[in-house]
Structure 1
């Protein structure tokens, strides 16, 4: 059995286990605002992320390598000029973010798996969007070293308020020790300038033994990033093994422990580490055991759901929910699962400019959903609401 087959086999086994041991919801003392849920579009082939380039106009990435333009609920074009991707298992075209000055420079950034089965890595491309075409493409960064597994890429991108770019890089599944090796970029959060170069104020630029891009170390497969601009806080979440999914409060130069400390077990049932805490290693602010498989995260600020301003929204694959984390003073006070009855693996959450919440489901026939406040007028976009997809306002 090769690496990919072994990974899929043990992942499938644990998926069955996770479904039989449901993650309990915290007792509710807060109420999520009443909402409507509409299906905006469907038949998406393994979408991974989206970005809003204008009101009701989005770019959606799909793992096989498509960049789709959606306007007013309709897919109107496939954007040309995207990079060639290594599409296998968890690899492919992944995240998309807009440059903070997108409306003047039209720059977008894509993360994608690049290479071959025996030598692959995560890369970042910068390109200028011109109509439905990417031009002036430039790969500004490629993580090293290469690996020979098609999993645990990380791949999430996020611009900070100083216009530097954070990239999450997974540890490749078979290379978990690399997460603690400071000369390796695997299992790290990396910080770069918008042209891919190293910022002078990165924490280890004066240490020749440490990779200068490193912002934090000790991560497994980080796929969630959210920055709170009001409190200047960076949140990250990552997949654990059989248990040990976590949310971390990221600080410059800190060590988040993987694989030295974890509450998870190996998929085989073997112990990964005897330690759940260790000197010099940070504790998560949230641990999910059993795993929920968190796939993306946003911090909500908007006018449509003012009651949840400052809270975290996390999509989950295994527990098939939008998970609402009530946050006060950087602490998660309570959690609640939304949309469980849809029984859809949730891939990505996006907060639109109007404050509505967009959700991409996962799979070969995925949907784009929109949550809007019940008290607002219906959005002026074509809707494809189906009875089974319609929720009672505020139900979870």
Structure 2
């Protein structure tokens, strides 16, 4: 694996993709949407489809899943949470918090805050208080607007909904709970959840530098934090409270970009969904004091020699899967705990993949994974997933700004359970990096790779959000003398394996 290049690690570019990208993803769903998922070496060597877990498989087979679009009026939505009264609070990257009530998007934002939007920054996380109906508290994770020196940090704050109009926040109610989380164009994290003891769980990205942040107990980057939601102080019994060299708010370390969580408040299981680099996506079962290995480990094995001061006791993911053609980006998530789903599926976690346009159901006890297949509708680029109390599964699509819901009925759908080819990877089967060549058509950001980040740069440039594209000649994938959405489409098709922008010359 190539030596670390912090500015190269820019892969999860969901917040700035346009509607054109979604049209392309829909067109290629047959290829990207069926990307094979594999089990790590610590798990069973066989993918679950027909007979290895009869209860869950039969339950899925007997359910008919239907997707329908609720609204298309959102602008780059990044996260959501559903209140006990059914209102859906949605963050938009630009700094708006919107509310959907009775499946209708309210015209006036709940709140608008100043943020720094560049690439993956902005308003990227929301979580409602467990006692939201009583205390009206809303927690947000965002990249601050630049200060007078141009510095940007990631921040977690608490706001209050208004007492007269509960759909409008008190703009003066902000309480900053955690400040000065490392920020960059990429890997800003954003996961917010509550554990079953009422402590706030925060997923922070390593801001493009895994060694400086993920493995540094003095940095808040690349961590899972656990704090008191009242004042942001370290939660009781945090593992590093007695360590003078560690920030006492740290609960676990060694993460790359834990953009979302999935938490089961009945069992206490916390799953961090960590967006991978070039090889694997990870589901990590978060436990106090554990080190999950980034940047020395990705997926089922080590990619770099461990330094002398790092103990050889890194924690493997509960579940991981390698990238298919192009990229992947794990998102999510929520837990099945409602009366609509059968008993065999209770306690299973529902997880998405933004790039592959898939939704998976994961058993956290066995690390077995099932696909959620639709009888009607389509899964397109899910970036956040949440259940209502009644069992409807809502998911966000960033561009063109959709909120969809998946409902079920007790009918047998036209589903198949034919297994895909199963491969058991070993730590030596890590895909080789793309070799560096002098000219690579489609490489808009000059990182010697052609993937979704290049289309993101082009779309941002076309929208006027970037003044220039780092590699202009390479960005013109259509070779028509201009840089526009056509080039972004060609790059996405290349990433999905439908075309080859750089065929080998005999």
- TM-score of Structure 1 vs Structure 2, range by shorter chain: 0.7 to 0.9
Distance 1:8 1:160 in 2: 29
Alignment of 1:265-276 (within 5 A): 273-274=304-305
- Superposed, which structure 2 residues align to 1:342-361 within 5 Å? 342=378, 344-361=380-397
What are the residue-to-residue correspondences of 1:308-387 with 2, within 5 Å?
308-327=345-364, 330-338=365-373, 342=378, 344-363=380-399, 365-375=400-410
Please tell me whether the aligned partners of residues 245 and 293 of structure 1 are also in contact (alpha carbons under 8 angstroms).
yes
Tell me the CA shift for residue 263 of structure 1: 4.0
What is residue 132 of structure 1 aligned with on the other side? 167
Return closer, same or farther for 1:297/1:336 CA change in 2, 3 Å cut-off: same
8 Å CA contact retained: 2:115, 2:142: yes
Aligned-residue offset at 1:50 = 1.5
Aligned to 1:385: none
Deviation at 1:24, TM superposition (A): 4.2
Structure 1 residue 274, shift from structure 2 partner:
4.9
The answer (yes or no) to whether the contact 1:36–1:393 under 8 Å persists in 2 is: no
1:87 shift after superposition: 0.9
Please state whether the residue corresponding to 1:246 is helix, strand or coil.
Answer: strand
CA distance in 2, matches of 1:20, 1:140: 39
- Paired residues, what number? 367
What CA deviation, in whole Å up to 9, does each residue of 1:346-365 have, x standing for no partner? Answer: 111001011111111121x1
Structure 2 unaligned regions, length at least 5: 18-24, 39-46, 51-56, 418-506
Q: Say yes or no: does 1:283 pair with 2:283.
A: no
Per-residue Cα deviation, 1:225-257 (whole angstroms, up to 9, x for no partner) = 122223222111101111121111111111111
Deviation at 1:258, TM superposition (A): 0.7
TM-score, normalization by structure 2: 0.66
Q: How does 1:1-396 map to 2 (within 5 A)?
A: 7=10, 19=32, 22-24=35-37, 26-29=47-50, 30-31=57-58, 32=60, 33-116=63-146, 119-130=151-162, 131-135=166-170, 136-144=173-181, 146-147=182-183, 149-195=184-230, 196-263=232-299, 273-274=304-305, 279-290=312-323, 292-306=328-342, 307-327=344-364, 330-338=365-373, 342=378, 344-363=380-399, 365-375=400-410
Give the secondary-structure state (helix, strand or coil) at the position aligned to 2:272: strand
In 1, the alpha carbon distance for the partners of 2:107 and 2:282 equals 37
Note the aligned Cα RMSD (angstroms).
3.3
SS in 1 for 2:133: helix
Q: State the Cα distance separating 1:5 from its structure 2 match.
A: 8.9
Instruction: State the alpha-carbon separation in 2 of the partners of residues 354 and 154 from structure 1.
Output: 29
72 and 200 in structure 1: CA distance in 2 versus 1, 3 angstrom threshold:
closer
Deviation of residue 373 (structure 1)?
A: 1.9
Preserved contact between residue 210 and residue 295 of structure 2 (Cα < 8 Å): no
CA deviation map 1:303-339 (0-9, x unaligned): 1112421111111111111122234xx2212332535
- Distance in 1 (alpha carbons) for counterparts of 2:185 and 2:11: 11
Structure 1 gap ranges (5+): 266-270, 377-391
SS at match of 2:294: coil
Alpha-carbon distance in 1 for matches of 2:246, 2:83 = 37
Note closer, same or farther for the CA distance 1:287–1:55 as it changes in structure 2 (3 Å cut).
same
- CA 1:9–1:138 in structure 2 vs 1: closer, same or farther (change >3 Å)? closer
CA distance in 1, matches of 2:81, 2:256: 25
Matches of 1:331 and 1:52 in 2, distance apart? Answer: 29
Instruction: Give me the whole-angstrom Cα distance separating, in 2, the residues matched to 1:101 and 1:260.
Output: 40
Closer, same or farther: CA 176–19 of 1 in aligned 2, 3 Å: farther
Distance 1:192 1:183 in 2: 16
SS across alignment from 1:43: coil
How much has 1:168 moved relative to structure 2?
0.4
Between Structure 1 and Structure 2, the one with more strand by share is: 1
- The answer to which structure has the higher helix fraction is 2
TM-score, normalised with respect to structure 1: 0.83
Task: Name the larger-Rg structure.
Answer: 2
With 2-11 and 188-197 compared, the bigger mean Cα shift is at 2-11
